[in-house]
Amino acid sequence: QKEVEQDPGPLSVPEGAIVSLNCTYSNSAFQYFMWYRQYSRKGPELLMYTYSSGNKEDGRFTAQVDKSSKYISLFIRDSQPSDSATYLCAAAYSGAGSYQLTFGKGTKLSVIP
Amino acid sequence: DGGITQSPKYLFRKEGQNVTLSCEQNLNHDAMYWYRQDPGQGLRLIYYSQIVNDFQKGDIAEGYSVSREKKESFPLTVTSAQKNPTAFYLCASTRGSGRSSYNEQFFGPGTRLTVL
């Protein structure tokens, strides 16, 4: 079983819709949870980062982590065509070794005008 | 502007050839990483380096080699031993080694390698 599971989609929504993107993870040692946005043929860029459980909001984006159920979510309100991209969830822990990210497979989102 | 540059953007290779992908960063970051991205596979770690002259294998290191002679440079060589090298290659870096706290991982624009 992959440590971070993500439904690859694709997901298509109309402009203005609320988008919910989700991941599950299996490693209880993960402490940091990230969402990256990747436009076609570009490198990923960090969108949101959370530590441990809880919610974090940044404009139209809300990241949510539930460590009890090992569930990671990203909500996009009032979605725009410019939000069309692949969204990658990632998790990490720091410890004796180096800091490494474990990525989900990514969900391709299309927001239709 | 600080950032990570990768070159070339597109690279074509004949079977049996070794090729080297360049990655340079001017962020003064300590750690650097190489990932491979295939459709539907997400990002998989090839190699990483926490300090100069030191690097470790990631999950899929077979058929690849790296060097870290300078802090700002971390080139990746795709050797002829890599059986399926066609993919999108991403270089990344973080400020610290990450042993004690979160460090954002910044990515370069990527190199698309195609084997003919």
Chain B interface test: which of A5, A89, A100 (most B C-beta within 10 Å): A100
**CA gap A43, A46 in Å, rounded:** 10
- Residue A31: list chain B partners with CB under 8 A: 102
- Residue B41: list chain A partners with CB under 8 A: 105
Query: What is the count of residue pairs from A and B with beta carbons less than 8 Å apart?
Result: 71
Q: How far is B98 from chain A (nearest CA, A)?
A: 4
Q: Which residue shows structure tokens 């946005």?
A: A37
A46 Cβ under 8 Å from any chain B Cβ: yes
Amino acid A83: pLDDT:
97
Q: How far is A25 from chain B (nearest CA, A)?
A: 15
Amino acid A93: pLDDT:
77
pLDDT at B97 over 70: no
- Which pLDDT tens digits describe chain A residue by residue (113 residues)? 568 999 888 999 999 999 999 999 999 888 889 999 999 989 999 999 888 788 999 999 999 999 999 999 999 999 999 999 999 999 987 664 556 789 999 999 999 99
Contact B108, B90 (CB under 8 A): yes
Q: Is A82 helix (H, G, I), strand (E, B) or coil?
A: helix
Q: Which residue shows structure tokens 């002679």?
A: B69
**CA gap A109, A102 in Å, rounded:** 21
**CA gap B86, B36 in Å, rounded:** 10
Q: In 10 A of CB A41, how many CB atoms? A: 11
- Residue A98: list chain B partners with CB under 8 A: 31, 48, 50, 56, 97-99
pLDDT in tens, B53-88: 999 999 999 999 999 999 999 999 999 888 899 999
Its sign, for the CA torsion A5, A6, A7, A9, is negative
Using pLDDT thresholds of 50, 70 and 90, give the confidence band for residue B24: very high
